Amino acid sequence: MKHRFAAAVIMSAVGCTSVVASAAGVANATTPTDTGSSSAYQCIYKPLLPSQLAISKAETVLKVGLNISGTGDCAINFTVVTTVSNGTDKHYLNWAASTAPVSEPFTSSALHPGAYKMSNNVCVVGSTTTGAAETCTVVPTVMTVKYTSTSSLRVAHSKTKVTFTETGRHWAPGGSKALVGRVAIQRLSGKKWHTIHTGTASAAGKLSWAMKATKKTKKASYRAVAAATSDSFGATSKTVTK
């Protein structure tokens, strides 16, 4: 038997301000064999934290599913509370059978780049299922939170050389900023990309490099791959054919 419900809402640890909305979860409820003892019934609740969250605008939605296994009643009468935290930055997740779908996102200042973990020792089940032996298990997942980034590549040909200019930017509260990190310039050979140059972008987020013009450089396809940094995910530019 399957049940659908919604939703988890993350609350700020300070002032109980709502900062995140989540999507509905799916309950997979099965009826175990009745052994004549009510203690045979068990409800298991597993919040499922995504492995990554990319912040690309002032308001971003975090989707956290909740898997439920046990009797059919396990998906009807319950409340689950746990936390997701990164050091002292802690937020609460709350599920309940009566919770309506929520669409309120969190602001970009609510979560910061870093690794967020769920804590198993604060997972609570408030099920009112008669005779249920309730347990709550949190899947030990780490969620990496970073800003999204972009990479663009400009290729200019002359008779003697080919000049490459890569520009990287990442989203940040208040406006985009330069993406300063390692950058690879790649050329397509057959169906595979091969790196022809690597370097570090300047403080302005730019990498410039030139190579001698040869027969291989004519009508070739190029791209730039900007590596991830401590606060931003990496990015790949569009393919440029010159």
pLDDT in tens, 228-238: 999 999 999 99
Q: What are phi and psi of 63, to 5 degrees?
A: -100, 120
22 and 104 in a single domain? The answer is yes
pLDDT at 43 over 90: no
Give the predicted TM-score (pTM) of the model: 0.75
For the chain, the domain total comes to 2
52 and 152 in a single domain? The answer is no
Return the percentage of the chain with pLDDT > 70, whole number: 71
pLDDT category at 137 given cuts 50, 70, 90 is: confident
Query: What's the CATH code of the domain at 183?
Result: 2.60.40.10
pLDDT at position 25 is: 41
| Alpha carbons 42 and 48: distance in angstroms, whole number | 19
Best mean pLDDT range from 20-24, 31-35, 143-147: 143-147
Best mean pLDDT range from 15-19, 27-31, 37-41: 37-41
Query: Poorest-confidence range of 77-91, 167-181, 182-196?
Result: 77-91
pLDDT category at 98 given cuts 50, 70, 90 is: low
26 and 79 in a single domain? The answer is yes
157 or 48, higher pLDDT: 157
pLDDT at position 213 is: 92
In the structure encoding, which two tokens stand for residue 56, read together? 């690309």
pLDDT at position 242 is: 82
207 and 117 in a single domain? The answer is no
54 and 121 in a single domain? The answer is yes
Mean pLDDT for the stretch of residues 12-41 = 37
Determine how many CB atoms are found less than 10 A away from the CB of residue 196.
18
168 or 62, higher pLDDT: 168
Q: Which of 189, 180, 181 is nearest to 222 (CA)?
A: 189
106 or 87, higher pLDDT: 87
Q: Which of 165, 161, 171 is nearest to 211 (CA)?
A: 161
pLDDT at position 121 is: 60
125 and 17 in a single domain? The answer is yes
| Alpha carbons 183 and 123: distance in angstroms, whole number | 42
201 and 127 in a single domain? The answer is no
DSSP string, the chain: -EEEE---EEEETTTT-EEEE---EEEE-------S-GGG-EEEEEEE--SEEEE-SSEEPPP-EEEEESSGGGGTS-EEEEEEEETTEEEEEEEETTPPP--PPEETTTS-SEEEEE-GGG-EE----TT-EEEE-----EEEEEE-EEEEEEEEE-SSEEEEEEEEEE--TTS-EE--SEEEEEEEETTEEEEEEEEE--TTSEEEEEEE--GGGTT-EEEEEEPP-SSB--EEPPPEE-
pLDDT in tens, 77-91: 777 778 888 888 888
pLDDT at 1 over 60: no
| Alpha carbons 231 and 147: distance in angstroms, whole number | 6
138 and 163 in a single domain? The answer is no
**Which domain range does residue 6 map to?**
2-146
Determine how many CB atoms are found less than 10 A away from the CB of residue 91.
23
121 and 159 in a single domain? The answer is no
The torsion angle over the Cα atoms of residues 73, 75, 78 and 82, rounded to 10 degrees, is 150
Domain boundary among the residues 113, 146, 179 is at 146
114 and 14 in a single domain? The answer is yes
pLDDT at position 42 is: 72
Mean pLDDT, the chain, integer:
77
131 and 45 in a single domain? The answer is yes
Q: What are phi and psi of 122, to 5 degrees?
A: -115, 15
Domain boundary among the residues 146, 169, 194 is at 146
50 and 127 in a single domain? The answer is yes
Domain boundary among the residues 146, 165, 185 is at 146
